[in-house]
């Protein structure tokens, strides 16, 4: 028999502490409806749960990106539809002028023709989304060390040879040597009708006047001449983050639908839509071909925009499905079973009451035992 330690009381006190912890845990889970409220609840699952939670939030933001991209595509589609309408009207005018009895009668439609052309350029230029030019693009660059011989030029330094057929080339500086372009004024803008080599690596070019007619030159070497270019680029791309992983992007193509770019790009001279007019019956006939090419280009762009919209719709559906599945899995892993936790709380409270009663009983038993043993000494 030991009276210097109360083993029964210690066991009962430990049972009270354990029951209190269980009751607190069950109460917390009932209050939050979560069975994992801290890393201590399930240390092994925290990495997975945090990753799932981050992905669920990311899928939502990816769909927000797609919503913004769809707005951009819808604006682009509406602009392309407007341009297609203007081209249709221009073709009707060209057909009318091509059948005119005289050049004078053909030219009667030129004013309306030019107005439609200006509207195409206006729509193309104003079609922007968040500062991004969707249907117009241009770049400026310079080239140096160019030798003029006849109507042709040759690059001796190709580091900035960004010429492409159809762009304008502004020549400024002082010509020296034995010849120059006849009637040259400083500066003078010409049209690049053809290049040799490739875009960005052009080794030579041919110039014509901006109206497509040939220019007159004599052999000569320009001294201190600079060439400033403004290129109507075909467009570019914008990458939209449509997924949640690095590289999960969808590209949206940008286009150049200005009249300086639309039209037949294979002819050597006078090929862009911007250079077409209805001033003569012959000009009206050639305009029809250029307009048909432009309509084909716009139709191609419309098809591409529509296909991209369908891709975006598919990406949205995929992101939603993945988010839904992950949210369900996350809930299954973290949500508390309230019926089970209610039962656990009740059991813990009963244990608390029982252990408290046993602790009181254990203390009373030792007290009575000590009192009995000491009675013989207390008289």
Q: Where do we find the tokens 């602790």?
A: 359
What region, left, alpha or beta, does residue 173 occupy, with left being phi > 0 and alpha being psi -120 to 50 degrees? left
Token code pair at residue 347 = 């059991």
Average pLDDT, the chain: 75
Q: In 3D, which of 101, 108, 188, 178 has the Cα closest to residue 147?
A: 178
Q: Is 334 domain-assigned?
A: no
Q: Is 154 domain-assigned?
A: yes
The pLDDT tens digits of the residues spanning 188-233 come to 677 777 766 665 555 666 777 777 776 655 444 444 444 444 445 5
Q: Is 113 domain-assigned?
A: no
Report the C-alpha gap between 260 and 283 in whole angstroms. 17
Contact (Cβ atoms closer than 8 angstroms) between residue 162 and residue 199: yes
Phi (first) and psi of residue 335, to 5 degrees? -75, 140
The pLDDT tens digits of the residues spanning 147-161 come to 444 455 554 444 445
* Count of domains for the chain: 1
The DSSP output letter for 214 is: P
Q: Does residue 285 have a pLDDT over 80?
A: yes
| C-alpha triplet 332, 333, 335: angle, nearest 5° | 65
Report the C-alpha gap between 82 and 213 in whole angstroms. 32
Task: Give CA separation, 339 vs 18, 225, 344, 345, 349, in Å.
Answer: 21, 87, 9, 10, 16
- Write down the pLDDT at residue 110: 94
Q: In 3D, which of 197, 104, 205 has the Cα closest to residue 153?
A: 205
Q: Is 166 domain-assigned?
A: yes
**Residues 6 or more apart from 165 whose CB is under 8 A from it?**
192, 193, 194, 195, 265, 271
Q: Where do we find the tokens 């014509």?
A: 208
Q: What radius of gyration, in Å, describes the C-alpha atoms of the chain?
A: 41
Q: Is 329 domain-assigned?
A: no
Contact (Cβ atoms closer than 8 angstroms) between residue 26 and residue 345: yes
- The kind and range of the H/E element at 5 are none
Q: How far is CA 284 from the centre of its chain?
A: 41
pLDDT range class, residue 97, cuts 50, 70, 90: very high
- Boundaries of domain holding 144: 138-232
Q: How far is CA 29 from the centre of its chain?
A: 42
Q: Is 66 domain-assigned?
A: no
Q: Is 172 domain-assigned?
A: yes
- Write down the pLDDT at residue 70: 93
Residue 254's beta-bridge partner residues?
A: 236
- Give whichever of 141-150, 168-177, 291-300 has the largest mean pLDDT: 291-300
pLDDT range class, residue 269, cuts 50, 70, 90: very low
Is this model's pTM higher than 0.75 or not?
no
Q: Is 191 domain-assigned?
A: yes
């Amino acid at each position: 028999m030991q009276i210097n330690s109360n083993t029964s009381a210690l066991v009962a006190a430990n049972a009270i502490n354990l029951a209190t912890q269980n009751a607190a845990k069950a109460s917390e889970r009932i209050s939050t409806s979560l069975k994992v409220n801290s890393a201590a609840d399930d240390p092994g699952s925290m990495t997975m749960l945090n990753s799932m939670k981050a992905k669920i939030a990311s899928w939502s933001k990816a769909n927000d990106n797609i919503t913004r991209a769809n707005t951009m595509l819808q604006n682009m589609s509406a602009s392309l539809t407007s341009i297609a309408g203007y081209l249709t009207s221009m073709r009707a005018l060209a057909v009318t002028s091509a059948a005119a009895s005289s050049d004078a009668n053909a030219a009667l439609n030129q004013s309306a023709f030019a107005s439609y052309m200006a509207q195409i350029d206006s729509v193309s230029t104003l079609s922007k989304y968040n500062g991004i030019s969707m249907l117009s693009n241009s770049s400026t660059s310079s080239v140096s060390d160019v030798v003029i011989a006849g109507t042709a030029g040759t690059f001796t330094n190709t580091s900035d040879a960004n010429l492409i057929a159809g762009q304008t080339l502004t020549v400024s500086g002082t010509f020296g040597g034995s010849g120059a372009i006849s009637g040259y004024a400083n500066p003078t803008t010409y049209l690049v009708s053809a290049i040799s080599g490739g875009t960005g690596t052009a080794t030579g070019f041919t110039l014509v006047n901006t109206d497509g007619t040939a220019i007159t030159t004599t052999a000569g070497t320009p001294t201190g001449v600079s060439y400033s270019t403004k290129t109507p680029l075909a467009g570019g791309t914008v990458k939209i983050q449509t997924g949640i992983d690095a590289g999960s992007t969808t590209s949206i193509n940008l286009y150049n639908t200005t009249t300086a770019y639309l039209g037949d790009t294979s002819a050597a001279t006078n090929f862009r839509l911007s250079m077409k007019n209805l001033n003569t019956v012959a000009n009206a006939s050639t305009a029809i071909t250029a307009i048909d090419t432009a309509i084909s280009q716009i139709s191609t762009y419309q098809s591409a925009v529509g296909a991209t919209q369908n891709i975006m719709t598919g990406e949205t559906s995929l992101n939603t499905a993945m988010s839904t599945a992950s949210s369900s899995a996350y809930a299954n892993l973290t949500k508390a079973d309230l019926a089970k936790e209610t039962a656990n709380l009740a059991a813990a409270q009963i244990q608390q009451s029982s252990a408290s009663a046993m602790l009181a009983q254990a203390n009373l038993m030792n007290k009575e035992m000590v009192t009995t043993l000491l009675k013989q000494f207390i008289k």
